[in-house]
Amino acid sequence: MRGRGRLFFVFFVVFGLLWRKREEREARRGEVRREGGG
């Protein structure tokens, strides 16, 4: 069961990095997106 916990930790770290990258990308588009509205 120890291996499972380790795998989950690695997955969580990778997911966090991907999410951080995505937020940065969205932030750059945020300015242009605001003009379009919704």
In a domain, 6, yes or no: yes
List pLDDT tens digits, range 4-25. Answer: 899 999 999 999 999 999 888 8
pTM greater than 0.75 (yes/no): no
Total of domains in the chain: 1
Q: Is the pLDDT of residue 35 over 70?
A: no
In a domain, 12, yes or no: yes
Q: What token pair was written down for 33?
A: 């997106």
Give residue 1's pLDDT. Answer: 62
Q: How far is CA 4 from CA 1, 8, 9, 11, in A?
A: 5, 6, 9, 11
Q: What token pair was written down for 9?
A: 């930790």
> If you search the block for the tokens 């945020």, which residue do you land on?
30
Euclidean distance between CA atoms 22 and 28, whole angstroms: 10
Q: What token pair was written down for 15?
A: 């997911």
Give residue 33's pLDDT. Answer: 65
In terms of residue numbers, what domain contains 19?
Answer: 1-30
In a domain, 38, yes or no: no
In a domain, 2, yes or no: yes
Q: Which one has a higher pLDDT value, 34 or 17? A: 17
In a domain, 37, yes or no: no
| Rounded CA Rg of the chain | 16
